[in-house]
A and B are shown apart, each in its own frame.
Chain A
């Protein structure tokens, strides 16, 4: 952390960058917030710890409009999102000075609480995690507090950076399509019941959409009255399903599987599953493709080749 902070201060001082986009220390170890730092003085609140899970790449849309370069701290998985935003012409690569920061899997306080810890007074981001609570102290293995997305990590390599600081670790223990296969194996009735139960929790807060780096339209179709599936809760619970399904279609081929949608959902809906299903199908239909791996690559859904799958595949009920 100190090396990263010193380097950021150095780049601010020598004028290479006009500001730093990183994380600001919260009230506790576990609630750092994304923040812009525009002076060495402000950098006193800079933090980078294992709770810094937020993907900062989307903040670069606004930062790209500002004068001068922005130093942005990207974790390996965030770097895919950054590249995709460059492909989408929403972020200017020249306006970013990317420090690829190390990641050993990110922790989440929600995840820690799921293991039955209550009344947290302090928590470390170490392995094992030491938790001091109102109701006694506890020790948890690091993985007990890790975001579920980190168990199917894309790897420790950054796909874009100007320099790298910090070590990363492999955290992947499961195939990311395992969950998709489990759902594919369900009967239609079971699938419907599964998604019904999950999506009926949706409160239409739009956190998934607003955090999603692929949801980067200047004006979202759901914002406004023209569309019956407008941004807010409707009288018909069917609307909730439509919102998420339409959104999944809109980001298909551009979703890097960063997992932010599921991380931010206040109702714990595993929204990433929709996107993973699309990614899995795209891989099967058009060949292996990882959005954001190469900003010059043509997206499978935005290019045409004679080898492309025929539309008739849809009438056969898609692929399983």
Chain B
């Protein structure tokens, strides 16, 4: 275990950024999101949850795939370069790290998404333990320990220091880069924090949310439940839950006419949108009930069916906090539990 005094963090950021780009929680116009570190950046490690998860670092909300030029009848394509430089994502919480592992199951399964894969290869994850979980958190339900997240390097903020532990080879290499700034430390402060967090996690309102009955085998039983008819009603059909979610990975591929060619890009999409499944000859999900159901069925039934039972939810609670109508996955799970369905 190593540590660095909190007042020296700017030096640590600068040292990391000297060798590779550094992405970390930055406050801009009152909101904290993952962003590129610069000397002027207002780094914010105090806010527990960035508005968007850290998934942008590996699966950006919008990215160009290739550019297409037309010269007379001839088309030429210029694929976008894959990430070739290392970068560090600092301050990712345990839930978001798990979120990335879930995205891995999608993007690194055959055929591998090379854009994502290149970023995963070059990205170094420095996670940060949660010092003060909040009421919307329910990562424990998914077996995540927010006091000891996964990552290449794991860090804790306790008693005026950032404690630092390399957990992988990549993490060791990064540690070596900044070794001058770190001092050896014992684990007492971190152990104390872990114990304190474990006690708090037990008291979180959704700590004991039960996922009993949700698995990949209950497809038609859950799909045909009359509960959806009541649950979807307040849904505004916006994409807030989808876009703040660390595991939602649906995307659209679109063209952007630059005036000098066509940029083909992909961007996050939402199964909540009416045109998501629209085809020239019709739409197989015409009602918001169907679209609403799709999102939760995917996270709690379809995804587990294809991924050895793993849910596509990490309990980060962003949808709980951000839904304009106060709908969320917790309410859905509880409604089914109450009905015993």
Contact = CB atoms under 8 A, between A and B. Distances in A.
Given A27-B330, A120-B135, A235 B265 contact: yes
Contact of B243 (A200, A205, A228, A263): A205
A118 B243 contact: no
A236 B330 contact: no
A264 B242 CA distance: 15
A234 B233 CA distance: 30
Contacts of B268: 232-233
Contacts of A32: 326
B250 to A, nearest CB: 11
A54 B237 CA distance: 15
A234 B270 CA distance: 14
A109 B326 CA distance: 11
B325 to A, nearest CB: 5
B233 to A, nearest CB: 6
A228 B256 contact: yes
B240 A207 contact: yes
A201 B29 contact: yes
Nearest to B132: A118
Contacts of B33: 201, 267
A61 B30 CA distance: 34
B182 to A, nearest CB: 29
A5 to B, nearest CB: 19
A267 B31 contact: yes
Contacts of A234: 62, 254, 256, 265, 267
A110 interface: yes
Interface string A217-236: 00000011100101111111
Interface string B28-70: 1111010000000000000010011000000001111000000
A33 B256 contact: no
A186 to B, nearest CB: 15
Contacts of A121: 135, 203, 205
Residue of A224, A234, A235 with most partner-chain B CB within 10 A: A235
Contacts of A207: 236, 238-240, 324
A54 B64 contact: no
A205 B62 contact: no
Interface string B52-95: 10000000011110000000000000000000000000000000
Contacts of A233: 61-62, 267-268
A28 to B, nearest CB: 7
B244 interface: yes
Nearest to A231: B273
Interface residues of A, number: 49
A28 B29 contact: no
A228 B326 contact: no
Given A234-B256, A235-B64, A203 B243 contact: yes
A26 B205 CA distance: 13
A210 B321 contact: no
Contact of B269 (A133, A225, A232, A236): A232
B219 interface: no
B41 to A, nearest CB: 13
A32 B334 CA distance: 15
Contact of A134 (B203, B263, B330, B334): B203
B246 interface: no
B238 A206 contact: yes
B133 A119 contact: yes
Interface in A23-69: 26-28, 31-36, 54, 59
B257 to A, nearest CB: 7
A266 interface: yes
B136 to A, nearest CB: 9
Contacts of B51: 201, 203, 266-267
A22 to B, nearest CB: 11
Residue of A109, A121, A201 with most partner-chain B CB within 10 A: A201
A28 B256 contact: no
A218 to B, nearest CB: 11
Contact of A235 (B203, B263, B325, B326): B263
B160 interface: no
Contacts of A206: 238-239, 273
Contacts of B252: 232
Contact of A205 (B203, B238, B326, B334): B238
B29 A198 contact: yes
B333 to A, nearest CB: 11
B29 A228 contact: no
A197 interface: yes
Contacts of B254: 225, 230, 232, 234
Contacts of A230: 254
A266 B29 contact: no
B139 to A, nearest CB: 14
23 contacts: A26-B331, A27-B206, A28-B205, A31-B326, A33-B331, A36-B233, A59-B234, A118-B134, A119-B135, A119-B200, A120-B134, A134-B135, A135-B132, A201-B33, A203-B61, A204-B243, A205-B240, A205-B243, A205-B270, A234-B256, A234-B267, A235-B256, A268-B30
Interface of B: 28-31, 33, 48, 51-52, 61-64, 132-135, 200, 203-206, 233-234, 236-240, 242-244, 252, 254, 256-257, 263, 265, 267-270, 273-275, 321-322, 324-327, 330-331, 334
Given A120-B134, A201-B31, A209-B238, 14 more contacts: A34-B234, A35-B234, A119-B132, A134-B200, A205-B244, A232-B254, A234-B62, A235-B63, A235-B267, A236-B256, A264-B238, A266-B244, A267-B31, A268-B30
